[in-house]
Amino acid sequence: MGFIFTNDESEARAEYHAEHGSADVVLADGQHQQLIWAKFEPGSAYRLHSHPYEQSSVLVRGRMRLTVGDEVREISPGDSWFAPAGVPHGGEILGDEAVVFFDIYAPHSGGVGKDVTYYE
């Protein structure tokens, strides 16, 4: 694995979760952080959840109504968000296009889906 990742390469390497209408892949697994590529299909849910590590994200495709803590906003490609450790966050996919975003978890999460608490 190299250090530069195209969106097409990321999608090709992703693990799909048909039961959730989503896909993800760890692109970089550093000592102190992880870079994650995530995709949610139209009609699926980016379920409200929290975890004990910080998450910074950038939306690159699609639209969603995002919740982070008490804040709710509609976002589109190029928009970003920060979810502090322990703060619930999630979103509703809007329209008929899949949502794709990149996450940075810090400190290192230990793996996608580790220590996650879901609220819905």
Give the per-residue pLDDT at 20: 84
What does the alpha-carbon distance between residue 40 and residue 100 come to, in Å, rounded to a whole number? 7
Under the banding of pLDDT at 50, 70 and 90, the label for residue 42 is very high
Name the pTM for this structure. Answer: 0.89
Q: Is the dihedral of CA 6, 98, 25, 86 positive or negative?
A: positive
Under the banding of pLDDT at 50, 70 and 90, the label for residue 2 is confident
Mind listing the pLDDT tens digit for each residue in 76-114?
A: 999 999 999 999 999 999 999 999 999 999 987 766 667
Q: Does a cis peptide bond (omega within 30 degrees of 0) precede residue 84?
A: no
What Cα–Cα distance (Å) separates residue 60 from each residue in 2, 70, 74, 78, 114?
21, 23, 14, 6, 24
The structural domains of the chain, ordered by start, are: 7-110 (2.60.120.10)
What does the alpha-carbon distance between residue 12 and residue 113 come to, in Å, rounded to a whole number? 20
